[in-house]
Structure 1
Amino acid sequence: MILDVHGKTTYCYTGGKPFDPSLRTIVFIHGAQNDHSVWALQTRYFAHHGFGVLALDLPGHGRSSGPALESVEAMADWLLALLDAAGVERALLAGHSMGSLIALEASHRAPDRVTGLALLGTTYPMKVSESLLETSRSDESRAIDMVNIWSHSTIAPKPSCPGPGFSVMGGSQRLMQRMSQLNPEHLFYTDFTACNAYVHGEAAATAARCPALFILGTRDVMTPPRSTKLLTSAMAHASVVHVDAGHQMMAEQPDAVLDALYGFACAKK
């Protein structure tokens, strides 16, 4: 589905069903150097089980026009404008990594529009080392290799892998390389800098009143579960689900992630 947001072309995957804004809507927000396809194994189920699905490509990512936005705050404002363009008054926001910060900030800016928050692979502050930031600017291909290795708990696919011979690590690496080809303007550096610079997470978490769910990978070294204590403490009403995966949990443990997300969404009927 193509939308016009702030005068730019924006792409949203709708899970194989025409989008109907009258349905309960769930918006999927990807992380740095990714696009909507990281949610492929969850979005179709939601779309075929009574939900309106918008799995967006952020500006400068995937099929959405650039340039990439330089702050989490700007991305949150853009997300709210996307809801307007899609005719959605209220939605559940599911965000992964950088996307979790965008969802959190959007809920702080427009609490009446957010029915729930699902935060996957999240932490706050989401600090990025100076050496990785510099590598992402000077040698993006090397930064992609580094982060791709750190984002997966194993080389071999897990039993829940969607098909024999499917390389979870290879698919993730190719996606990140593709993002670089589509947007050569230091996309990785822009995304990581936005995560590193975001300073409103604690205030947003403390102010949140909607139901919230944390889905955390027990073997995540990018955003380790222990590092989420500030957020989980600030959102005392939130529930936490752990899955046996690294940072790219949606691909490593698609069924476990789907079960947690769908159970959370349906509990809010």
Structure 2
Amino acid sequence: MFITIDNQDTFIYTAAREIHHHQPSVLFIHGAANDHSVWNMQCRYFSTHGWNALAIDLPGHGQSKGPPLNSISALADWVEKCTKTLNLEQLAIVGHSMGSLIGLELASRKNSLANQIALIGINVPMPVSDQLLETAKKNPKVAYRLMNQYSFSGRAKLGKNDIPGLSMEGVSLKLMNRTQPGVLHADFIACNTYDKGISSAQKINCPSILLLGSQDKMTPASRTKSLRNALPGSLVKVLPGTGHAIMAEQPNQVTECLKNFLVKT
């Protein structure tokens, strides 16, 4: 569906289903240089099991218009406008990578709508090197290849896929190459400059889960200790043999983890 945010067309994937306000809602937020399609399997599952499942395209990503936003706070403000336009009162938030920072910021705010939050592939802080920032600005296609190279585990790079004949790296790179100019650089700036992660986590009162990949080179599970300490009641699930592109490498396991968390907490 399309809605209008800041006078711009905004796309929200709902698995071709209408929103029913008597049902629980789950909002999926994608990461840098991605769009709603990374959540297709999860959206399809929840939309057929009694949930309003919504996966947004952030500004300048996918089918959403408007300039990209280069701060996590601004992106969280924008997502809040989406939830208000849709008249959502309570919802679970699921975010991956940059999307997890947006979710963290949203859930920490006073009068937050979040009643559950799942943070997938997250580090706090989430630094981006000066070299990669410069490459994203001047030669984004090279940055896409570098980013793609570090997003997958060893088995995925060797062609392991539950769907025969489909390359996860190839699909990911094609998705990134559809991104509008300037989007990746803005996304990287947003991740690199967000310095409120721990303080935001300490303000969160709703149930939370960290879903991590054991072979994630971009947001290593080993660097989540401070975040875990800031979320003392949080569940933690580390998927073995999985890189940063968790939903691509382990779609069924991600769906199962989210189902167990969202339905049982």
TM-score range, shorter chain: over 0.9
Secondary structure class of the residue paired with 1:128: coil
Distance between the aligned counterparts of 2:88 and 2:148, measured in 1?
A: 34
Query: Which residue pairs with 1:117 in the alignment?
Result: 117
The alpha carbon displacement at 1:22 in A equals 2.6
Distance between the aligned counterparts of 1:143 and 1:86, measured in 2?
A: 35
Contact 1:111 1:208 in 2 (8 A): no
Query: Which residue pairs with 2:250 in the alignment?
Result: 253
Return the TM-score normalized by structure 1: 0.95
Work out whether 1:60 is the aligned partner of 2:57: no
Contact 2:148 2:173 in 1 (8 A): yes
Q: Deviations over 1:247-269 (max 9, x none)?
A: 0010100011111011111013x
Give the one of 212, 216, 219 matched to 1:216. Answer: 212
Q: 1:173 is aligned with what amino acid?
A: L
Distance between the aligned counterparts of 1:96 and 1:39, measured in 2?
A: 10
Q: Deviations over 1:65-90 (max 9, x none)?
A: 11011110001111111001111011
Contact 2:106 2:112 in 1 (8 A): no
The alpha carbon displacement at 1:157 in A equals 4.2
Work out whether 1:202 is the aligned partner of 2:185: no
Secondary structure class of the residue paired with 2:119: strand
Contact 1:157 1:252 in 2 (8 A): no
What is the 5 A alignment of 1:1-269? 1-153=1-153, 154-158=156-160, 161=162, 163-179=163-179, 183-184=180-181, 186-244=182-240, 245-268=242-265
Distance between the aligned counterparts of 1:111 and 1:12, measured in 2?
A: 23
Q: Deviations over 1:142-177 (max 9, x none)?
A: 100000010001313445x2x211111100000000
Change (3 A) 1:157 1:213: farther
Q: Deviations over 1:117-165 (max 9, x none)?
A: 1000001000011111111111111100000010001313445x2x211
Secondary structure class of the residue paired with 2:198: helix
Return the TM-score normalized by structure 2: 0.96
Change (3 A) 1:253 1:239: same
Distance between the aligned counterparts of 1:111 and 1:236, measured in 2?
A: 21
Distance between the aligned counterparts of 1:77 and 1:32, measured in 2?
A: 17
Contact 1:15 1:46 in 2 (8 A): no
Q: Deviations over 1:3-46 (max 9, x none)?
A: 11222211000023222233100000000000000111211001
Secondary structure class of the residue paired with 1:62: coil
Q: Which segment is superposed worse, 4-13 or 30-39?
A: 4-13
Q: Which structure 1 segments of 5+ residues have no match?
A: none
Secondary structure class of the residue paired with 1:54: strand
Identical counterparts, % of pairs: 40
The alpha carbon displacement at 1:111 in A equals 4.4
Q: 1:214 is aligned with what amino acid?
A: L
Distance between the aligned counterparts of 2:111 and 2:27, measured in 1?
A: 15
Q: Which structure 2 segments of 5+ residues have no match?
A: none
Secondary structure class of the residue paired with 2:94: strand
Distance between the aligned counterparts of 1:157 and 1:233, measured in 2?
A: 37
Contact 1:158 1:253 in 2 (8 A): no
